[in-house]
Amino acid sequence: MHGDVMFRGCVRDFIYPFLAAILAGFSYVFKKEGLNLCDAPIMGVAVGYDAALLLYLPIMFMNPTILSKNSFKLFWKTGLGLCIGHLLMFYALRYGDVSTVTSLIQVEPLFILILIHHYLKGVEDR
């Protein structure tokens, strides 16, 4: 009985990650379909960021410390880099196959690991 309860808890812990993986997989298909309908990668990026803003607005208004000057100073470069990265991804999807582009995009954690190690070498404690 005890093992059964532990197994159910373990399965429940994987529901959100599996749903996130499925939705992330479908997102590339939807992005490619959107590019087939409207061949404007910048429009796809704009719609994506507008949708994200609409989802985050309630969170930002419930917690006003998120909108501080310090957080803006820390994250504006990151936001700009992500925006350029998404724009390049949409251009890659425009000219390439979804399976090829998605496979290349999924190498992103490797680059993140390398760049974090390089740039934050002396900043964080181990």
DSSP state letters, 37-90: HS--HHHHHHHHHHHHHHHHHHHHHH-GGGG-HHHHHHHHHHHHHHHHHHHHHH
| 19 within a domain of the structure (yes/no) | no
Neighbours of 65 (CB within 10 A): 8
| 24 within a domain of the structure (yes/no) | no
| 65 within a domain of the structure (yes/no) | yes
Range of the domain at 78: 38-119
| 4 within a domain of the structure (yes/no) | no
Select the more confidently predicted residue: 68 or 8. 68
| 48 within a domain of the structure (yes/no) | yes
pLDDT per residue as tens digits for the range 15-60? 888 888 888 888 888 888 888 888 888 888 888 888 888 888 888 7
What is the total count of domains within the chain? Answer: 1
Whether residue 98 contacts residue 28, with contact meaning beta carbons closer than 8 Å, is answered with yes
| 56 within a domain of the structure (yes/no) | yes
Neighbours of 20 (CB within 10 A): 10
| 113 within a domain of the structure (yes/no) | yes
Q: For 99-106, what is the mean pLDDT?
A: 86
| 21 within a domain of the structure (yes/no) | no
- The pLDDT value recorded for residue 2 is 53
